[in-house]
Amino acid sequence: MLAECARNEIGAKLLIEDSREQRPRSLKGAIDFRETTMTVRAILDTKGHHIQSVEPDAKLSAAIKVLAERKIGAVLVMNKDRVEGILSERDIVRVLGERGAAVLDEPVSEVMTRKVISCRQSDTVAAIMEMMTLGKFRHLPVVEDSLVVGLISIGDIVKWRVKEFETEQEALRDYIKTA
């Protein structure tokens, strides 16, 4: 409720909101976006479930060609439906620095990271961000019932977070307009 108040220095009446009465406000628009839990499934549903992989006996040079053509930073190393390892740009740079260009003719299995950490579709984005930060890796296979259903990169997470912040900004703008 608005109440008449004193006059300002030029004599105009000032109106102020009476703080004893609260007008009803809805925060629905400002918090609707939070109702959608940020999970790995949400990211995969947006980006797709396509997985790029190579076989363990493929030459490193062939795997590098796949990375370059697809403009991606890692491929899963798979034997049939089983994950044997992961090959990232970091693995390639490390082994080239250690052993030189001759390594390009070696099989991927000699270069790949064997210890592969994975996540589930139900994992939250916050949890996998922490996992990637602590483990110092950028790619995370998504596994359900022993099958790989996707691959999440730090870039996917950043895109998702930017989208979340933009949605939050828009919801807050809409809320301010109606307040």
Strands 74-79 and 2-7, sheet pairing? unpaired
What integer best gives the mean pLDDT of the chain? 83
Burial (CB count within 10 angstroms: exposed 0-12, middle 13-18, buried 19+), residue 141: buried
CA 74 from chain center: how many Å? 15
- Given a cut of 70, whether residue 37 has pLDDT beyond it is no
- Given a cut of 60, whether residue 21 has pLDDT beyond it is no
What CA–CA distance (Å, rounded) separates 42 from 55?
29
98-138 pLDDT per residue, tens:
999 999 999 999 999 999 999 999 999 989 999 999 999 99
Residue 29 makes CB contacts below 8 A (sequence gap 6+) with 171, 174, 175, 178
The pLDDT score that the predictor gives to residue 107 is 97
Global pTM value = 0.71
